[in-house]
Chain A
């Protein structure tokens, strides 16, 4: 195996998601890199908002962090394992077991009732159907969707659909939930409600959250904000202060949803961006 550039300097990553010096150039004729040297650390249980203009590389960053895209150079470590060194099948399995995803328009399967949409990832992981359905119903109930289990996505409002998508992302007890503009298609009021649920439930489950958003209010609900511009993270702050930058692991907070005001206050205090 070829020596990995970051193998020597591999930080003491512990349980975190750690990306170092990410460069991503999409194949193409006159390709400009979509990411040009990004460092990110996402600690267990923390919530990170990713903001930036359209085309700045937010989605690319999310996909590289989640092992969907392979970076052109640089590394991503998850719980000490280098994603680049895992096989394709192992990375796919990792996305199933360790990560959860929420997309802008849910992308729930239209033919399946809400309950089965949520149970499907568990069934894919080999959980027997009955148990998967039970766990899915429990998660739906915590999101205020009790009674809607048999509805299909076409019979749910936009906000309800996104809650089902959140339930689907959380049902496998992931370490990190990735959300790409999860409330981009919702009105402001619903958007605030859904984001509240997303941050609250991730905190309850102890899952870290990485959420791309255009909405400053939405970003306010997160522990800190990364600003991306032209494939770089803006306003690089003092490096190597993970104690400051990664937010509080908040063992004490677990189980109590952060109120919007708390989250906003925290985000003002901890605007430190941990980037080189």
Chain B
């Protein structure tokens, strides 16, 4: 064990700077997801705090708590997805080093333990940075006003024990995900490394989603009888099914585009999407969800604004709009990080292939265009699915205030998409470096 540890340390130290980039990407992803998680929890904490001290007659305080819980539940899925991306990056990138260690006589148990230790170290570093990010975000967040007054830093601060628990949770989740990754490597080393024809995702996914949506309609009618907890549970199930349906839709759209593609960049992009629809989905799902959230909430706000002339109701409407924008900002940052990290990791993995293409005369702009399409095809599909339906529902209610809100929503969605594309552009230097002659 000591020899293996020494070798591991040596490999670690000698790793060239560019081999550390996957580690940096993983730490960045852990950091962003931790910050996003803490901010979401902090916001929820603020409304719970306020409800606790609200006067007995205040019928709106509990609504705020429920809305904050719903927003938090919606945000947790993409945040955990980003954490999963980070953990995957940590394990998948170690094949070469694992092979070296195995050749040098380390047992698979030792190698596995080292991998998990590294994974945990990355998650810990990222989570600590993320907690710092949360602390830094408190001041600007306290400028936001809800229920007619500003959120206090003390309301948003979760307290040290809770923050420490979140950091520990991130590390635990990454280790769990690392164990999963290791098991896959152990079960089928070739299945992970070699690219074979991707397994087609099955249409059973559609059936599952159909059932859950049906359940949502039923529960929606019976909310009074079944109570808030069950309703929220089914809502969470609906959100989860989006993650079941997403990869399937992504795969179908990729297959369709691959069949119809005329240009080489579209063909390559579509094949990459079909190659790993789950990872493609992971890189765009957060934004799709955020977009749906923003669009839905603007529908809700308009309907609420129409219904009541009561001033507290108007404040609630405005607060929902503000809150959904904050959620959209969080989700955009998470989504952009997911896309940026997944795409950067793909360039690093496929450096030799990129280089071979460039040597054989493929212009670098072609590589950039193919990568852009790899993101914009699923992104476009997600945005259309996530926003068009709710916005269509909104149109009949579109008075002047509604149009203003609609414009704001569209602008916010466009900004979120632009942020994702910018995150993709951030890995352009990696492409240039990979093909440098």
Q: Which residues of A contact B (CB under 8 A)?
A: 63, 66, 68-69, 89, 92-97, 99-101, 103, 105, 107-112, 116, 120-121, 123-124, 128-129, 150-155, 168-169
Contact A124 B195 (CB under 8 A): no
Quick one: given A69-B437, A120-B268, A129-B267, are A110 and B353 in contact (CB under 8 Å)? yes
Q: How far is the CA of A245 from the CA of B275 in the complex (A)?
A: 49
Of A69, A96, A116, A129, which is within 8 A of B271 by CB?
Answer: A116
Q: Which residues from chain A contact B196 at a C-beta distance below 8 Å?
A: 152, 154-155
Contact A123 B264 (CB under 8 A): yes
Quick one: given A107-B352, A109-B353, A111-B275, are A68 and B264 in contact (CB under 8 Å)? no
Q: Which residues from chain B contact A128 at a C-beta distance below 8 Å?
A: 262
Contact B195 A107 (CB under 8 A): no
Given contacts A109-B271, A111-B274, 15 further A-B contacts (CB under 8 A): A68-B359, A96-B360, A96-B362, A99-B360, A107-B353, A111-B268, A111-B271, A111-B272, A112-B267, A112-B268, A116-B271, A123-B264, A150-B197, A151-B197, A153-B195
Q: Which residues from chain A contact B264 at a C-beta distance below 8 Å?
A: 120, 123-124
Q: Which residues of B contact A (CB under 8 A)?
A: 194-197, 261-264, 267-268, 271-272, 274-275, 350, 352-353, 355-357, 359-363, 366, 437
CB-nearest residue of chain A to B263: A123
Quick one: given A110-B275, A154-B194, are A95 and B263 in contact (CB under 8 Å)? no
- Within the complex, the shortest CB–CB distance from B374 to chain A, in Å, comes to 10
Contact A109 B357 (CB under 8 A): yes
Top 10 nearest A-B pairs (CB, nearest first) are: A96-B361, A107-B356, A95-B361, A110-B195, A154-B194, A123-B264, A154-B195, A111-B275, A111-B271, A154-B196
Contact B267 A124 (CB under 8 A): no
Quick one: given A69-B437, A101-B360, A111-B272, are A124 and B366 in contact (CB under 8 Å)? yes
Of B197, B267, B359, which is within 8 A of A155 by CB?
Answer: B197
Q: How far is the CA of A152 from the CA of B356 in the complex (A)?
A: 17
Q: How far is the CA of A73 from the CA of B263 in the complex (A)?
A: 39
- Within the complex, the shortest CB–CB distance from A32 to chain B, in Å, comes to 20
- Within the complex, the shortest CB–CB distance from A222 to chain B, in Å, comes to 22
- Within the complex, the shortest CB–CB distance from A35 to chain B, in Å, comes to 15
Q: List 18 A-B contacts (CB under 8 A).
A: A63-B359, A95-B360, A97-B361, A101-B359, A103-B359, A109-B268, A111-B268, A112-B268, A116-B271, A121-B360, A123-B264, A124-B361, A124-B362, A124-B366, A129-B267, A154-B195, A154-B196, A155-B197
Of A63, A92, A110, which is within 8 A of B361 by CB?
Answer: A92
- Within the complex, the shortest CB–CB distance from B206 to chain A, in Å, comes to 25
Q: How far is the CA of A116 from the CA of B270 in the complex (A)?
A: 12
Q: Which residues from chain A contact B437 at a C-beta distance below 8 Å?
A: 63, 68-69
Q: How far is the CA of A103 from the CA of B360 in the complex (A)?
A: 10
Contact A123 B267 (CB under 8 A): yes
Q: Which residues from chain A contact B359 at a C-beta distance below 8 Å?
A: 63, 66, 68, 95, 101, 103
Contact B363 A89 (CB under 8 A): yes
Q: How far is the CA of A261 from the CA of B40 in the complex (A)?
A: 75
Contact B361 A94 (CB under 8 A): yes
CB-nearest residue of chain B to A110: B195
Q: Which residues from chain A contact B261 at a C-beta distance below 8 Å?
A: 129
Q: How far is the CA of A96 from the CA of B361 in the complex (A)?
A: 4
Q: Which residues from chain A contact B275 at a C-beta distance below 8 Å?
A: 110-111
Q: Which residues from chain B contact A103 at a C-beta distance below 8 Å?
A: 356, 359
Contact B195 A152 (CB under 8 A): yes
Q: Which residues from chain B contact A120 at a C-beta distance below 8 Å?
A: 264, 267-268
Q: For B263, B275, B357, B360, which residue has the most chain A Cβ atoms within 10 angstroms?
A: B360
Q: Which residues from chain B contact A116 at a C-beta distance below 8 Å?
A: 267, 271
Of A68, A92, A100, A151, which is within 8 A of B363 by CB?
Answer: A92
- Within the complex, the shortest CB–CB distance from B270 to chain A, in Å, comes to 9
- Within the complex, the shortest CB–CB distance from B40 to chain A, in Å, comes to 35
Q: How far is the CA of A183 from the CA of B361 in the complex (A)?
A: 22
Q: Which residues from chain B contact A109 at a C-beta distance below 8 Å?
A: 268, 271, 353, 357
Q: How far is the CA of A107 from the CA of B355 in the complex (A)?
A: 9
Q: How far is the CA of A69 from the CA of B437 in the complex (A)?
A: 7
Q: Which residues from chain B contact A69 at a C-beta distance below 8 Å?
A: 437
Of B262, B263, B361, which is within 8 A of A121 by CB?
Answer: B361
Q: Which residues from chain B contact A112 at a C-beta distance below 8 Å?
A: 267-268, 271
Q: How far is the CA of A154 from the CA of B198 in the complex (A)?
A: 11
Q: How far is the CA of A63 from the CA of B355 in the complex (A)?
A: 13
- Within the complex, the shortest CB–CB distance from B234 to chain A, in Å, comes to 38
CB-nearest residue of chain B to A112: B271
Q: Which residues from chain A contact B194 at a C-beta distance below 8 Å?
A: 110, 154-155
Q: How far is the CA of A107 from the CA of B197 in the complex (A)?
A: 17
Q: Which residues from chain A contact B267 at a C-beta distance below 8 Å?
A: 112, 116, 120, 123, 129
Q: How far is the CA of A124 from the CA of B356 in the complex (A)?
A: 14
Q: Which residues from chain A contact B361 at a C-beta distance below 8 Å?
A: 92-97, 99, 121, 124
- Within the complex, the shortest CB–CB distance from B142 to chain A, in Å, comes to 47
Q: Which residues from chain A contact B271 at a C-beta distance below 8 Å?
A: 109, 111-112, 116
Q: How far is the CA of A101 from the CA of B358 in the complex (A)?
A: 11
Q: Which residues from chain B contact A169 at a C-beta distance below 8 Å?
A: 360
Q: Which residues from chain A contact B263 at a C-beta distance below 8 Å?
A: 123
- Within the complex, the shortest CB–CB distance from B269 to chain A, in Å, comes to 10
Q: Which residues from chain B contact A96 at a C-beta distance below 8 Å?
A: 360-362
Q: How far is the CA of A169 from the CA of B366 in the complex (A)?
A: 19
CB-nearest residue of chain B to A94: B361
Q: How far is the CA of A112 from the CA of B258 in the complex (A)?
A: 10
Q: How far is the CA of A22 from the CA of B262 in the complex (A)?
A: 41
- Within the complex, the shortest CB–CB distance from B361 to chain A, in Å, comes to 3
Q: How far is the CA of A95 from the CA of B196 in the complex (A)?
A: 29
- Within the complex, the shortest CB–CB distance from B370 to chain A, in Å, comes to 10
CB-nearest residue of chain A to B260: A129
Contact A152 B262 (CB under 8 A): no
CB-nearest residue of chain A to B276: A111
Q: Which residues from chain A contact B353 at a C-beta distance below 8 Å?
A: 107-110
Q: Which residues from chain B contact A123 at a C-beta distance below 8 Å?
A: 263-264, 267
CB-nearest residue of chain A to B360: A101
Q: How far is the CA of A85 from the CA of B322 in the complex (A)?
A: 60
- Within the complex, the shortest CB–CB distance from A177 to chain B, in Å, comes to 11
Q: Which residues from chain B contact A97 at a C-beta distance below 8 Å?
A: 361
Q: How far is the CA of A123 from the CA of B437 in the complex (A)?
A: 23
